[in-house]
Structure formats: C-alpha cells, structure tokens
A and B are shown apart, each in its own frame.
Chain A
Amino acid sequence: MAKISLIVNGNPVTANVDPRTLLVQFLRENLRLTGTHVGCDTSQCGACVVHVDGKAVKSCTTLAVMADGHEVKTIEGLAADGAPLHPMQEAFREHHGLQCGFCTPGMIMTAIDIVHRKGNELDDHTIREELEGNLCRCTGYQNIVASISAGAKAMAKSDLA
C-alpha cells in the first residue's frame, strides 16, 4: 500500500491505496465521488476527465499515486451543494447539452479546460477540434457545442472559474 495526500475539490484527503488504483477508481470508490464516469476505460471517450492542477486529464489513465501532492477537481467541485450551478453547467442545462448524460461530467470538465486555455470567445470549429477526446454516444454534439459556446461567454462574467 502507498500513502497519498492530495487536495480533492478543495479538501485535503489522505489515504492508503494499492499503487495500481486508478485515479478514477479512487475518486469513485474511496471518496464516493461518482460524478466522474468510466466510459471506455481506454483513454478515448473522456467521460472520466477531471482537472489535476487545473488541467484536464483522463482519470482512467492516471494512477492515484501519481496524483499524490496534487490538486484534483471533479464535477462535484464546480459548485457547492444548493448553490447556483457553475456557468458551464448552467449552459449545458439551458441549451440541453445532454441526452443520456453519461458523457456530461467529462464534457463539462473538458469545456472549462478549453475556456482556460482558449478564452471566453470560442468559435464552433475550435470547440469541435478541442472535443477530440470526448465522445457522446447519443451523438448530441450540436447542443454540446452550443452549450460550451454559451458557457464560455458566461464564465467571463462569473466568479466561478
């Protein structure tokens, strides 16, 4: 077992884990943060995207031990319980950027990462290029792109990053 200490959604977490534990397993099974999904489990679909030190990564392809000493943010960490949604979440609701919803947490975490890297004014082509690593099996991309475009703009006016 290996002892790890990290920050998850702003809270310090310490745990003993088997080194082969994936970050997504650790989040879901140890911390019960089940908003992060396992889709393909082969680093292609992006349902497991979380932020590590502010950058989007696929938590199914990261070992929990590799996150030791780092800061992790999951979909649960975007807005406090009962508080208004993060503007990107709100945009997905407003523009119906989801059908079955399975890919949504990864889509939203990736979308926020796109805004951090590319700014608040995103054209559709850029959004589609940047969604290379996120798959929606309902093929609901049209509204996902519309949601990200609107969410990116809304983030400029929000305190929530």
Chain B
Amino acid sequence: MYEFKYYRPGTVRQAANLLVKNEDAKVIAGGHTLIPVMKQRLASPPHLVDLSHIERLNTIEMKGRSLVIGATAKHAEVATSAIVGEAIPALANLAGGIGDPAVRHKGTIGGSLANNDPTADYPAAVLALGATIVTNKRRLKAEEYFQGLFSTALEADEIITKVMFPLPKKAAYVKFRNQASRYALVGVFVARRPSDVRVAVTGAGSEGVFRVTAFEEALKKRFAAKALDGIEVPAEGLNSDIHGSAEYRAHLIGVLTRRAVDAANAKE
C-alpha cells in the first residue's frame, strides 16, 4: 500500500470539504473493497476520508412508505434489522448473503453502491426496487445513478448519505455464486411494485447491473414463473470468462429469475 493521509471527519459536511480540498481523495467506510484494492496498488489515493465515525449515518428507519437506510449501515445491520425484515425481507436476505460474516461486520451499503462492482449484490436491489440514492448534494434515481463498470453518477466531492427504497408488494433475490470467489456469477432481484415489475441482474452484464425488460413485461401481465416460458435472454453484452460463457450466464438469468419469482410468491 502506498502512503496516504488519513482524516476522520465528524460530519458529512466536513467530509465533503475534505474532498473538495484534497484532490484525488477517496472516501472509506468499511474499507472492504478499497483496502484490498489499495493493497494491490491498483488504487493509491493520497488522502483517505473515513466516514465510519459520523454519527447517525447508519440509521435504518421507515419514512412514510419508504425504507431509508443510512450510507454507513453495515451489511450485518441490514441483514438483522427488524425494520428491514418487516419492510423488505428480500433486502435483508440479500445483505445476509454478501461475503462472509466478518465482511458483513464491516462492509456498508454506501460503499457497495459507490464502488458499483459489476458482481456486487446491492446494485441489483437498488435498480429493481427503484430506490433513490440520496447524497450531500442531490437525489439520484437508480436508473441515472449506475453508469457502467465501477462507474456512477457521483461527483468527486459527492457522498452518499442514504438510500430510500419504496416498498414493493413482493420481492426476492436469488444469486448463483462463483464456487471459488463466492461472488455472484449471476444474481437476479425481482420486485413486484405497485405499478410494475422490475427484474435487475448483477454479475452478468459487461456494463454492470441492468434490467431485463422482456421479463418485466411478461411478469407484469402475470407474476408467475410460467409467464417467462419461451422468452430467451440474449447472450450479447454479457460477460464471458473462465467461470462461465455469456450463453451460460444468459441461461442462468432465466433460471434465477424463475426461482426469484417463485420465492417472491412463496412469501405470501
């Protein structure tokens, strides 16, 4: 790891000021993506701004019809939160399946979303549920937030403060793990929302998380796995590597979407 200066601001405003003042500064919270990347010297930020001691940035609460999760809420906190379990059990389930127990004690929802790893779990939930990313500057819709591989709409001095999830009628997340890395080879989040159905896929797309509109339209007419009969996901634009071909991933998307729909229906 290269040298850096470490800052521990007490408020989001102080953190943002540090980002403005220090070019190429990076935000750290749980550090479970950034530290490994820095150890490999793939990143060498000269300044690290630690958000983990900002109070009330990890609050989990219901606000009206939305579940609001603070940016530094750890995966373990989301997974075991009674509020999340009541409001969107699929989201608690997703958080409880990220990494391993020790990783879940450190990793945060804000960190996962800011990094936008193409195999991360949270982006699928955010896109399928139609969540809003709230920053120190503005509110971003999920569709405009994700901008491809490790890319987001966040500006250099912008910090995620919370994520607002509108409540779905039903939802489920199913992932197929890579046997070695345990990351999602493909993960599918299905949400039956009051007005429509959304199907978001992580792990498979070469540009990161994406929606399968053909599935969404079929499921809107009838929310059952059977409704997907005869609809194929094209392999074009999907990742192909030693872990699985694009065709294999396309097939998995179909299989996992059906499982997710069944799981969502089973939760009634």
- A residues neighboring B (CB under 8 Å): 2, 18-20, 22, 41-43, 46, 49, 52, 55-58, 61-63, 65-66, 68-69, 110, 113-114, 117, 130, 132-134
Q: List residues 17-64 of chain B with CB under 8 A from any CB of chain A.
A: 28, 31-32, 35-36, 38-39, 48, 50, 52-53
Q: CB-nearest residue of chain B relative to A21? A: B1
A sample of 12 inter-chain contacts (CB < 8 A) reads A2-B6, A55-B76, A55-B105, A57-B106, A58-B106, A61-B36, A61-B106, A63-B35, A66-B50, A130-B101, A132-B99, A133-B99
Q: CB-nearest residue of chain A relative to B40? A: A42
What residues on B are CB-neighbors of A2 within 8 Å?
Answer: 6
Please determine whether A133 and B102 come into contact, CB atoms closer than 8 angstroms: yes
What residues on B are CB-neighbors of A133 within 8 Å?
Answer: 99-103
Please determine whether B3 and A61 come into contact, CB atoms closer than 8 angstroms: no
With A19-B48, A43-B36 as contacts: A49 and B4 at CB distance below 8 Å: no
What residues on B are CB-neighbors of A41 within 8 Å?
Answer: 39
Q: Contact mask B51-95 → A, CB, 8 Å, 1/0?
A: 011000000000000000000000010000000000000000000
| Cα–Cα, bound, A19→B46 (Å) | 11
| Cα–Cα, bound, A69→B8 (Å) | 12
Taking the closest CB of chain A, its distance from the CB of B124, in whole angstroms, is 20
Contact of B103 among A20, A58, A68 (CB under 8 A): A58
Q: CB-nearest residue of chain B relative to A20? A: B1
| A-B pair number, CB within 8 angstroms | 73
B138 within 8 A of A: no
| Cα–Cα, bound, A7→B46 (Å) | 28
Interface residues of A, dominant DSSP: mixed
Q: How large is the interface on B (under 10, 10 to 19, 20 to 34, 35 or more residues)?
A: 20 to 34
Please determine whether A19 and B102 come into contact, CB atoms closer than 8 angstroms: no
What residues on B are CB-neighbors of A114 within 8 Å?
Answer: 101
Given contacts A43-B103, A114-B101, A130-B101, 9 further A-B contacts (CB under 8 A): A18-B3, A19-B5, A19-B48, A22-B35, A41-B39, A42-B39, A55-B105, A61-B31, A132-B99
Taking the closest CB of chain A, its distance from the CB of B204, in whole angstroms, is 22
Please determine whether B4 and A19 come into contact, CB atoms closer than 8 angstroms: yes
What residues on A are CB-neighbors of B102 within 8 Å?
Answer: 43, 46, 49, 56-58, 110, 113, 133
Taking the closest CB of chain B, its distance from the CB of A108, in whole angstroms, is 13
Please determine whether B6 and A61 come into contact, CB atoms closer than 8 angstroms: no
B226 within 8 A of A: no
Taking the closest CB of chain B, its distance from the CB of A43, in whole angstroms, is 6
Taking the closest CB of chain A, its distance from the CB of B30, in whole angstroms, is 9
What residues on A are CB-neighbors of B5 within 8 Å?
Answer: 19
| Cα–Cα, bound, A69→B190 (Å) | 41
What residues on B are CB-neighbors of A68 within 8 Å?
Answer: 8
What residues on B are CB-neighbors of A65 within 8 Å?
Answer: 6, 8, 50
B182 within 8 A of A: yes
What residues on B are CB-neighbors of A55 within 8 Å?
Answer: 76, 105
| Cα–Cα, bound, A126→B39 (Å) | 32
What residues on A are CB-neighbors of B76 within 8 Å?
Answer: 55
What residues on B are CB-neighbors of A117 within 8 Å?
Answer: 101
What residues on A are CB-neighbors of B35 within 8 Å?
Answer: 22, 43, 61-63
